[in-house]
Structure 1
Amino acid sequence: MTAKMDQVWPWRALRAIFFWVFASLMASAAPAQTQSAEAEFLGATRHWLDQAVAGIQSSGAVPLRMEVSVGTLDSRLRLASCARVEPYIPVGTRLWGRTRLGLRCIEGMGKWNVFLPVTIKAIGRAWVMRRDVAPGTVLGEADVMEAEVDWAEEPSPIIADPALWVGQVAVRNLMTGQALRQNMVRPAQVFQAGAQVRIVAQGVGFQIHSDGQAVSPGVVGQMAKVRMDNGRVMSGTVLDARTVKLEM
């Protein structure tokens, strides 16, 4: 199972939110409506919203079922009548998880600006912990299982590709049923400072192999310092448990 880490918001669902927002504002601006009529109208709007977002999926390789839950405005608000309400996404806001939608009156008796709470869920298959593990545990396939989770429940992206977490180390206590996310694991250390390593020095048109000694611990994919035979200390990328690559 693989997926892109970025989740792009489907504009079809956003239009659905705007429709619901407008209906809600019109209902609050017309206190003469009976409660039953208002409930019926909002109920129909909610049904329309559910249909609009049904089947919407993220742009990633893993299908996600989008679910939108719209909150309510503060009941203490007294908004002036408005002929034109403009919804907008506040600066720095992402329509993912618990968030908010901005609403401003741009054509009415009084200009106002309010925020509406919105929850966006993205339900899909992901890797979750089969058992509790302690910090420092090297994760393997026996530690996890597949289950449906809300990808948008936390800000850190889901790790969908097993190659990105198998052999990684848990950075904190991971609980049974918890979905694996990028901030929960780190690469494992493959050698200690002082270990003998193989150095591959590579440049344009040449490659040299030699032995050396690690000056700092080595983590696959990260930089480590090594001491060459001539005593010179250089930095290179750790390729595996014994090899460090130097770019010349």
Structure 2
Amino acid sequence: MRPVTLPLLTLLCLLAALPVRAQAPLDPALLERVRTLAETAARAAAPADTRVTVEVGALDARLKLAACAQVQPYLPPGVAAWGRSRIGLRCLDGAVKWNVTVPVRVAVYGRAVVASQPLPTGTTLSQEHLAWADIDIAAEPGAVFTNAQALLGRSLARPVAAAEALRAPSLKVRQWFAAGETVQVRAVGPGFAVAAEAQALTAGLEGQDVRVRFESGRVASGRAVAERRVELAL
């Protein structure tokens, strides 16, 4: 490695000492538009009887954005306004058409089932393990449960702390049937539904695709939805 010469070292020190010009704070009206956009998007996905709050963060202080007469907030494609997220800001009327994002934190408060005590991996859930609490259901990934009965008999795939929400990723995937078993297949289409028996060619894991063979020899793919039940979408 070549040694850094003294003049270059001095220049680097001088550059490091220079202050970074901070980006001016967002206009209050623009902040409110960002907050409203995030709240509207969150409410569209939030369950009924929940309360949504939005905290808008700050732009990166290192940004140096050109003046813009019209800034449009938007939700970037593939980004959910849920938990820690980002809202886009793009300049529509300026010498430079810049496009940046600002961080937001979206909380969705609602009543959900939580653990009544610390629960280790492998616990088979019973009523004594469950309690109710008002929580931020958007704080962590995974759907929460609002029906305690749906959790009874389920097993935990990871430990859950006391008062922590029981979420779908916390549960072991159920196997509804094994390969070779006879299953009821329900084919659903626009305005009709047809039921028939078939043989499962693969194990039916909850919510996952499975292949079945009908008596005619036809093979189809559907989704395991319950005990020895498969649904096909036509």
* TM-score interval for Structure 1 and Structure 2 normalised by the shorter chain: 0.5 to 0.7
Q: Is the 8 A contact 1:138 1:188 kept in 2?
A: no
Contact 1:58/1:64 (<8 A) preserved: no
Partner of 2:62: 76
Partner of 2:26: 25
- CA distance in 1 between counterparts of 2:109 and 2:100 reads 29
Equivalent position of 2:123 in the other structure: 137
Instruction: Give the whole-Å Cα distance in 1 for the aligned partners of 2:206 and 2:44.
Output: 31
Report the CA distance shift for 1:59/1:150 in structure 2 as closer, same or farther (over 3 A). same
C-alpha contact 1:62 1:125 (8 A) present in aligned 2: no
Q: Secondary structure at the match of 1:170?
A: coil
Helix, strand or coil for the counterpart of 1:145?
strand
Q: Where do residues 134-213 of structure 1 align in structure 2 (5 Å cutoff)?
A: 134-186=120-172
Q: Secondary structure of 2:110's match?
A: strand
Q: In structure 2, the residue corresponding to 1:163 is in which secondary structure?
A: helix
Amino acid at match of 2:26: L
Gaps of 5+ in 1: 1-22, 27-41, 208-215, 226-236
| Alpha-carbon distance in structure 1 between the residues aligned to 2:54 and 2:195 | 56
Instruction: Rate the CA distance shift 1:166–1:112 in 2: closer, same or farther, 3 A.
Output: same
Distance 1:124 1:103 in 2: 30
- Is the CA contact (8 Å cut-off) linking 1:101 and 1:115 kept in structure 2? yes
Q: CA distance change for structure 1 residues 184 and 167 in 2, over 3 Å: closer, same or farther?
A: same
CA contact under 8 A between 2:176 and 2:226: conserved in structure 1? Answer: no
The CA distance in 2 between the partners of 1:99 and 1:202, in whole Å, is: 40
- Give me the whole-angstrom Cα distance separating, in 2, the residues matched to 1:191 and 1:99: 39
Identity of aligned residues (%): 35
**1:114 paired to 2:115:** no
Number of equivalences: 177
Equivalent in the alignment of 1:12: none
**Counterparts of 1:202 and 1:77 in 2: how far apart (Å)?**
57
Preserved contact between residue 106 and residue 138 of structure 2 (Cα < 8 Å): yes
1:89 lines up with 2:75 in the alignment: yes
Compute the displacement of 1:80 (Å).
1.3
Counterpart for residue 38 of structure 1? none
Deviation digits for residues 43-96 of structure 1 (CA, Å, limit 9, x no counterpart) = 9x77xx79xx7xx96666541110100001112222111101111111210111
Q: Distance in 2 between matches of 1:84 and 1:107?
A: 5
- Asked if the contact 2:183–2:229 (Cα under 8 Å) also holds between the matched residues in 1, the reply is yes
Q: CA deviation at 1:105?
A: 0.8
Q: 1:68 touches 1:118 (CA, 8 Å); kept in 2?
A: yes
Cα distance in 1, alignment partners of residues 96 and 206 from structure 2:
60
TM-score, length of structure 2 as denominator length: 0.59
- TM-score (ref. length: structure 1): 0.56
Q: Deviations over 1:164-223 (max 9, x none)?
A: 211111011111111011111135679999xxx9x788999999xxxxxxxx99988997
Q: Give the Cα–Cα distance (whole angstroms) in 2 for the partners of residues 167 and 101 of structure 1.
A: 41
State the partner residue of 1:18: none
Superimposed CA distance per residue, residues 96-155 of structure 1 (whole angstroms, 9 cap, x where no aligned partner): 110001101111122211110001000111111111122221101110110111111112
- Cα distance, 1:110–1:239 mapped onto 2, change above 3 Å: closer
The one-letter code sitting in structure 2 at the alignment partner of 1:120 is V
Gaps of 5+ in 2: 1-23, 187-193, 213-223
Instruction: Quote the Cα distance in structure 2 between the aligned partners of 1:206 and 1:192.
Output: 18
For residues 185 and 169 of structure 1, what CA distance do their matches in structure 2 show? 6
